Amino acid sequence: MTDSQTDTVVQLSGVSKVFEGRGQKAARVEALSGIDLSVRRGEFISLIGPSGCGKSTLLRIVGDLIGVSDGTVMVNGKLAREARLAREYGMVFQAPVLFDWRTVQRNVELPLEIIGRPKQEREARAREMLALVELGDFAGHHPWQLSGGMQQRAAIARALALDPAILLMDEPFGALDEMTRERMNLELLRIWERTATTVIFVTHSIPEAVFLSTRVVVMSARPGRITKIVPIDLPRHRDVETREMEHYFELITEVRESLRGSEGEAVDPRRVAAEGLSA
């Protein structure tokens, strides 16, 4: 194995995705086009962009929940599909997707149950994960007895249960109020520091992306492309005070400006073309 293989967890080369419309009227949508991205072990990557830029689609392509139309996706030196079958992914969605018929503990056990681990091992591991997300006292509760933030922490515990190589998060805090969201960001960073896992994180909040990430990937819409990658050179350990640093605001401005630029780029060529036709 070469260095690049050991260091790189995710390697996307020339990835594109076209959703073929079904039926005659449905339009063919070019969701992603020419995506190249490599993610190193232990990185925290945020995908940000206007709605419809394909950031969730990209996340699902990495996780082999949808296939590519063109290009390759390698995860830990394997094809995405092989990586999924080897249970290298942990997924967290915008909704917690906890099952009401299971206790919090048994929800966290779910991935271990799928691979047929013995009961004792499942329970021990689930307890460990619940302690990590500070839900140890709520193991016996049912999901509907928890607040939204707590439910999402249980979902994170479940995603980490198999110690995955990569954690895929699709706007996990998008449904939470601002205060809970900021607290959850700190929690997530603490968990990330302790587990040293690689994270790909979809969000539409610029401050959230800057606060959490080692790199912010800015995308544009129709077709979804990567327009800029902003390295976040804030100190690796971040806390409440990071949010008051001048450089934090500079980075937010930089991401915001690249987003604005990306929208322009995405729209301008077509507008020019349209104007050219009508003239």
Does 147 interact with other proteins (rule: CB under 8 A)?
A: yes
- Give me the residues paired with residue 249 across strands: none
Q: Which of 34, 50, 52, 65 binds other proteins (CB under 8 A)?
A: 65
CB of 189 to other proteins, least distance (A): 17
Does 144 interact with other proteins (rule: CB under 8 A)?
A: yes
CB of 78 to other proteins, least distance (A): 13
Does 142 interact with other proteins (rule: CB under 8 A)?
A: yes
- Which strands form 70-75's sheet, in the order they lie side by side? 29-40, 8-19, 70-75, 78-79
Does 99 interact with other proteins (rule: CB under 8 A)?
A: yes
| Tokens describing residue 135 | 């839900």
Q: How far apart are CA 61 and CA 37, in angstroms?
A: 13
Q: Which of 13, 18, 41, 95 binds other proteins (CB under 8 A)?
A: 95
Q: Which of 51, 101, 179, 279 binds other proteins (CB under 8 A)?
A: 101
Does 118 interact with other proteins (rule: CB under 8 A)?
A: no
Q: How far apart are CA 64 and CA 43, in angstroms?
A: 20
Instruction: Closer to other proteins by CB, 113 or 123: give it.
Output: 113
CB of 154 to other proteins, least distance (A): 13
Stretch that binds other proteins, among 17-25, 67-75, 140-148, 232-240 (CB under 8 A): 140-148
Does 63 interact with other proteins (rule: CB under 8 A)?
A: yes
Stretch that binds other proteins, among 37-45, 59-67, 190-198, 262-270 (CB under 8 A): 59-67
Q: Are 210 and 255 in contact (CB under 8 A)?
A: yes
Q: How many of the other CB atoms lie within 10 Å of CB of 213? A: 25
Task: Give the pairing type, strands 44-48 and 198-202.
Answer: parallel
166 three-class SS: strand
Stretch that binds other proteins, among 15-23, 69-77, 107-115, 255-263 (CB under 8 A): 107-115
Q: Which of 111, 172, 207, 223 binds other proteins (CB under 8 A)?
A: 111
For residue 36, give the nearest of 18, 69, 10, 65 by alpha carbon.
Answer: 10
Does 114 interact with other proteins (rule: CB under 8 A)?
A: yes
Angle at CA of residue 170, ends 263 and 134, nearest 5°:
135
Does 173 interact with other proteins (rule: CB under 8 A)?
A: no
Q: Hey, which bits of the chain come out as E strands? A: 8-19, 29-40, 44-48, 70-75, 78-79, 89-92, 166-170, 198-202, 215-220, 225-231
User: What residue ranges bind other proteins (CB under 8 A)?
Assistant: 60, 63-65, 84-87, 89-91, 93, 95, 97, 99-101, 110-111, 113-115, 138, 141-142, 144-147, 149-150, 162, 168
